[in-house]
Amino acid sequence: MFSDQHLQHKLDALQQQYDLEAEKLKDLRRSYAIEASTIARFQLEKQIEQTEAEMDELAQQIDRLERASPVERLYRALLKLNYREQTKKFRRIIPDNSVAAFLIHGLPDYGQGWLLNRLVQQHVPNSITAKVVQFNLNRLARKSDVPSLWRELSRGVGLGGQGLPPDIADRVYQWWQTQNVLLIFRDVDFLSEIYLRELLENFWFPLTIKTTSANAKVSQFQLIMFLIDEKGCVSKWNVPFAPEEPNSNWQPDSPVKLPEISGFSQEELAKWLDYESDDLPILLTEQLEQTVQTILENSDNGVPELAMEQICYLSGCCDWYEEEKTWLKY
């Protein structure tokens, strides 16, 4: 037990140091973007390179320690369980598009937040230094006026409650000039269909026009909006989503519906336990068939979050709801 605790303390210290370097890198990039002096820009460029090198070294140290931790090895294994179709579609779009919006949707407890974190942490470059703005739309559930939506967004981007849609879009656009920006709208299922259309038509659409206009500065950074639906209803609304398979004419003003999240099947769980056996605790793999049945029986036949909770319990090394605080960064 002591060795595991000691390992965790070292990981926490390294992660804290890494986070500090990430904040430093954000500040350096902002300064570089607005600096006019050639000499000063050269000095900032060297500082950026040095900070990136230090972050790379810290990341390697963290990776080595994580591989020695049973909890982290279980986490890495869980990252390979299900959500393949959603990940494939996301990966097809992100490399060639600096601006995009995605709907993550499924029934309650299907791991929408888990999928969001997987996509961001694994497939959004430099996500650790991104500007992340989260909106919890369940606060609007009792509101019936559109202005309350804009007040919520205005507060979220630091404009108090007075910012109008063009002001909000301009604030996000300015951020995007110097860093990656992630906009996370949680509980969009709490909105009405009319409200979601309002959000897209008067905020997201004008924002994407600014990013793609002929006069807009070409940005090396990404602007990604995530719409998180926890009830599996939004995909059926009359909202201008992109075609199921976006083609070369697709524009970022149309959010992409990722495939609806499905449950874990018996076959999928068995294959996962077998393929990941080297990294999983022996308690999970010594009686594979029995483990699969136990997981299914205690997760309403494969509901993802309930299944992952059961996997963590059977592993004997961690508690799902405790580790969520560490594993889910967004």
Q: Are 100 and 229 within one domain?
A: yes
Q: Are 104 and 252 within one domain?
A: yes
CA distances from 159 to 119, 129, 217 (A): 29, 22, 23
Nearest to 224 by CA among 259, 256, 178, 193: 256
Q: Which residues pair with 225 in a beta bridge?
A: 101, 183
The answer to whether position 134 is within a domain reads: yes
Long-range CB contact pairs, 88-94, < 8 A, 24+: 89/256, 89/258, 89/259, 90/119, 90/123, 90/258, 91/123, 93/246, 93/256, 94/123, 94/124, 94/222, 94/224
What interhelical angle do 38-68 and 2-34 show, nearest 10?
Answer: 160
* CATH at 30: 1.20.58.90
Q: Are 103 and 257 in contact (CB under 8 A)?
A: yes
Q: Are 269 and 246 within one domain?
A: no
Q: Are 228 and 272 within one domain?
A: no
Q: Are 252 and 269 within one domain?
A: no
**DSSP assignment of 142-208, as one string?**
T---HHHHHHHHHHHTTSTT---HHHHHHHHHHHHTTS-EEEEEE-GGGS-HHHHHHHIIIIIHHHH
Which pLDDT tens digit goes with each residue over 254-281?
A: 999 999 999 999 999 999 999 999 889 8
Q: Are 53 and 179 within one domain?
A: no
Q: Are 248 and 311 within one domain?
A: no
Going residue by residue through the chain, which has 330 residues, state the pLDDT in tens, using 9 for 90 and above.
334 555 666 777 888 888 888 888 888 888 888 888 888 888 888 889 898 888 888 887 777 666 667 888 899 899 999 999 999 999 999 888 889 999 999 999 999 999 999 999 889 988 878 899 998 888 765 555 678 888 888 888 888 878 889 999 999 999 998 889 999 999 999 888 888 998 999 999 999 998 887 445 456 789 999 999 999 999 999 998 988 877 667 788 899 999 999 999 999 999 999 999 988 989 899 999 999 999 999 999 999 999 999 999 999 888 998 888 888 988
Residue 2 pLDDT: 37
Q: Are 212 and 286 within one domain?
A: no
CA gap 211, 178 in Å, rounded: 13
Domain boundary among 257, 288, 307: 257
Q: Are 61 and 13 in contact (CB under 8 A)?
A: no
- Any idea which residue has 């703005």 for tokens? 133
Residue 144 pLDDT: 59
- Any idea which residue has 């309650």 for tokens? 108
First to last CA, the chain: 29
Residue 130 pLDDT: 87
Q: Are 252 and 103 within one domain?
A: yes
Domain boundary among 212, 235, 257: 257
Q: Are 54 and 98 within one domain?
A: no
Total structural domains in the chain?
Answer: 3
Contacts (Cβ under 8 Å, ≥6 apart) of 26: 129, 179
The answer to whether position 224 is within a domain reads: yes
Contacts (Cβ under 8 Å, ≥6 apart) of 33: 177, 178
The answer to whether position 170 is within a domain reads: yes
Residue 34 pLDDT: 82
Q: Are 180 and 126 in contact (CB under 8 A)?
A: yes
- Any idea which residue has 């500090």 for tokens? 20
Q: Are 257 and 105 in contact (CB under 8 A)?
A: yes
CB atoms near residue 95 (< 10 Å): 9
Q: Are 116 and 169 within one domain?
A: yes
Domain that holds residue 282: 263-327
* CATH at 155: 3.40.50.300
Residue 1 pLDDT: 36
CA gap 201, 181 in Å, rounded: 20
Domain boundary among 257, 275, 306: 257
Residue 19 pLDDT: 87
Q: Are 269 and 247 within one domain?
A: no
Residue 67 pLDDT: 64
Nearest to 204 by CA among 177, 172, 234: 172
